[in-house]
Amino acid sequence: MTRSHAVAHVPMPARIPSEAHADEGVRLLWTSGWDSTFQLLRLLLLHRLPVTPYYLEDDTRASTATELDAIARITEALHAQYPHTRALLRPLRRFRVAELEPDAAIAAALRDVRTRMYIGSQYAWLPMFCKQQGVDGIEMSVHVDDKVQALLSSRVVAFEQAGTYRSVRVAPAHAATPEYALFRYFSFPLFSIDKRAMDREARLAGWGPLMEMTWFCHRPLRGKPCGVCAPCVYTIEEGLAWRVPRTRRALSFVYRLFARPLKPPLRVAWTTLRGIRT
């Protein structure tokens, strides 16, 4: 797979044909980030399963080009180091968030969840994509220390994926909840592992150089992680601070000490103001 092939844009069809799903193997949301790349390596190198990666392009995210470049570089390195992955790793299926149709039920579910725990807007457009495209069971790399993992921890049931490894998904018993409305389309193979354990497993398996090619920052500055966006903060707090440059770590410390505590009350005030205006 050449770099241009790896990142080719797939125009959003009315619906992905069901026969296309049959040959996709394991479907995985792949952002080039630490968690989804770790799961990709497990699937390709440990379980040797065919994988179709999906990437949803958010036009508001400054890191899109950087993420796609990282996906292309990791793909090329995989093919060079592990030739069998040429057959297993299917072309990236890339879609644009801007092409999704609004969904009132999913938007309402996100608002409901946010009254108890703030989660990002991607947890509206990801299920909208799955619902509108008929995609079910796609893997999302939610892990220990992730807010979504805490949100769903009492609502999941385990199952065996592809007859090979354990995963979990939201149990049908919770079908009446907003959590089910948002996360019913996904499975969570990393639900019981944290970033540090991923790091240990990857290094023991010899995947360290591939993992170091991953990208996570949403607002890169001069090609380096910014230190203050949500993924940078989580990377530092979840034990991988070495991935953020030293000077940006210092900036992140100041941000987390002084600015970050102001975000929840400001968010509540903004939501309240919007409610008054409408």
Q: What residues pair up with 170 in beta bridges, in sequence order?
A: 156
Same domain? 117 vs 176: yes
In-domain check, residue 237: yes
Number of domains in the chain: 2
| Residues 179-228 pLDDT 10s | 999 999 999 999 999 999 999 999 999 999 999 999 999 888 888 998 88
Same domain? 107 vs 147: yes
Same domain? 58 vs 170: yes
Work out the average pLDDT over 161-169: 93
- What confidence score (pLDDT) does residue 11 get? 52
Same domain? 31 vs 157: yes
Same domain? 87 vs 164: yes
In this prediction the pTM is 0.83
Who wins on pLDDT, 68 or 61? 68
| Residues 252-262 pLDDT 10s | 656 555 555 55
Answer whether residue 271 shows pLDDT above 50: no
pLDDT over 70, % of the chain: 82
**Domain residues for 222?**
216-277
- What confidence score (pLDDT) does residue 264 get? 53
What contacts 163, CB < 8 A, 6 or more positions away?
none
DSSP codes, 57-101 = E-TT-TTHHHHHHHHHHHHHHHHHH-TTHHHHBPPPEEEEGGGSP
Residue recorded with tokens 């994926």: 161
CATH code of the domain containing 18: 3.40.50
Same domain? 51 vs 164: yes
In-domain check, residue 205: no
Work out the average pLDDT over 61-80: 96
Q: How many CB atoms lie within 10 A of CB 233?
A: 17
